[in-house]
Each structure stands twice: as structure tokens, then as C-alpha cells.
Chain A
Amino acid sequence: DSGVTQTPKHLITATGQRVTLRCSPRSGDLSVYWYQQSLDQGLQFLIQYYNGEERAKGNILERFSAQQFPDLHSELNLSSLELGDSALYFCASSSQSNSGNTIYFGEGSWLTVV
């Protein structure tokens, strides 16, 4: 158990809909990262937050947004969903903002868009 908690584990939704994925980082970790992994693909970095502030942005679509709350949990919002958004979405956390440490992953939220 990495200590990173993600909910929901699975969800199925229709095209055009909006979903919210939730992540609780490891105790004490200030940085939260979101990654997307499509079937048999590598990890695609979406966005990083550190102590409530956006720190780095990857290939995140404009239809997607994220935030980190004062209690350090984070949410990834996916809207106007398309079939191609079906993927595993991972949250990860680390204790340092400068990535000078290591990163721990949650078990992921498996999104299926039909």
C-alpha cells in the first residue's frame, strides 16, 4: 500500500458527460501529480500541484482541470468526455516540490467512456 488513495476505482460514463476523480496523497506529502495511461501506453503526465498551487503542466487537455484543496487532497475534473478519454488515471504524491525525491502512485481510477 503506497498510502495514496484514489476514488472511484472504476467508473463508466457516456460521451459528453463530466466526471471528477479524487486523490488523497500520502500523509505529509505536499505535491500531487496526475497521470493518464491509455491501454498498453506509457504514463502521460497531466499536471502537478504543490501545497495548493499549480506547479507544472503537461499534456492536459483544456477539457480537463484539476485543483488541490487546503487539506491537500486533489481532484481531476474531466468534462465533455470522448471515447478516447477512456484510460487509467493515476494520482501520485511526493514530499518535495522540486521533484528531488521519489514519487508514490495510487491504484488508479479506471475510466470507461461509452
Chain B
Amino acid sequence: QKEVEQDPGPLSVPEGAIVSLNCTYSNSAFQYFMWYRQYSRKGPELLMYTYSSGNKEDGRFTAQVDKSSKYISLFIRDSQPSDSATYLCAMSAAGQNFVFGPGTRLSVLP
């Protein structure tokens, strides 16, 4: 079992849809959870950072962490064609290195 699992997609949605992206993990020590957006051939850009469990909202983006289920989610409301990218989840624990999911490729169709 991989330490972090993420559906690679591709995921295609119409413009304006709500997008749900998810990752599961196996290491219960993870405390820090991140979502990155990566456009083709560009560096990953930090979207959301969450410590421990709970929700965090930033504009059209909401990150959720459920440590009891070892499950994190990123929701994108009112999706736009400019949201088309690969979304990477990442997580870490104190004293441990960052672990990245393989990424989900999202296409938002106009």
C-alpha cells in the first residue's frame, strides 16, 4: 500500500461545477496537509495548507481533513477553465519528509 493514494484521473467537469478531489493516506502521524496546483510544465503552486483536522476555506477552495478516516479533500466551487491543471496532495509529520500524491488531472470544460 502506497503511503498516499490519489486518483490520477483525468477528471472532466463542465464549467461551474463543484469539483471534489481526494487523497487517502496510511501514516497516522501526518499532521500537515497541503494541496498544490500544477499547470503543465510549471512548478507546483501551494493552494491550501491545513494543520491537523478540520476545514479551511479560501475563496472558491475548501480543504477538509478527516484524520480519523485518513482522508483529505479539496473542493473547488464554480470551477473555471483556468482551474484545469494537475492537483497534488501532500502531507508531512514533524521530523518526517513531505510525501506527495501522484496528482489528479482536472479538465474544466467551457
Q: Which residues of the partner chain A approach B98 to less than 8 Å between Cβ atoms?
A: 33, 45, 99, 103
Chain B contact residues, majority secondary structure: loop
The size class of the interface chain B forms with chain A is 20 to 34
Question: Across the interface, which residues of A come within 8 angstroms of B68, CB to CB?
Answer: none
Interface residues of B in 72-110 (CB under 8 A from A): 88, 90, 92-98, 100-103
Known contacts A99-B92, A100-B92, A102-B32; is-contact A88 B41 (Cβ 8 Å): yes
> Within the complex, what minimum Cβ distance (angstroms) separates A42 from chain B?
4
With A99-B92, A99-B96 as contacts: A43 and B44 at CB distance below 8 Å: yes
**Number of cross-chain contacts by CB at 8 Å:** 61
* Partner of A98 from B36, B49, B94 at Cβ < 8 Å: B94
Q: Are B95 and A98 in contact (CB under 8 A)?
A: yes
How far apart sit A43 and B36, CA to CA, in the bound complex (Å)? 12
CA distance A102 to B96 in the complex (A): 12
Residue A64 at the chain B interface, CB threshold 8 Å: no
Residues 71-114 of A at the B interface (beta carbon under 8 Å): 88, 90, 98-108, 110
Interface residues of A in 32-67 (CB under 8 A from B): 33, 42-43, 45, 48, 56, 58
Q: Specify which chain A residues have a CB less than 8 angstroms from the CB of B41 in the assembled complex.
A: 88, 108, 110
Q: Does A2 belong to the interface (CB within 8 Å)? A: yes
Q: Select A101's contact among B32, B36, B43, B96, beta carbons within 8 Å.
A: B32
Among A4, A90, A99, chain B packs the most CB atoms within 10 A around the CB of: A99
Tell whether B46 is near chain A: CB-to-CB under 8 Å.
Answer: yes
Set of chain B residues within 8 Å of A100, measured between Cβ atoms: 31-32, 92-95
CB-CB contacts of B10-44 with A at 8 A, as 1s and 0s? 00000000000000000000011010100001111
In this assembly, does B45 line the interface, its C-beta being within 8 Å of a C-beta of chain A? yes
Encoded as 1 (CB less than 8 Å from any B CB) or 0, chain A from 12 to 48 comes to 0000000000000000000001000000001101001
A10 nearest CB neighbor, chain B only: B41
List residues of B whose CB falls within 8 A of some A CB: 31-32, 34, 36, 41-46, 49, 88, 90, 92-98, 100-103
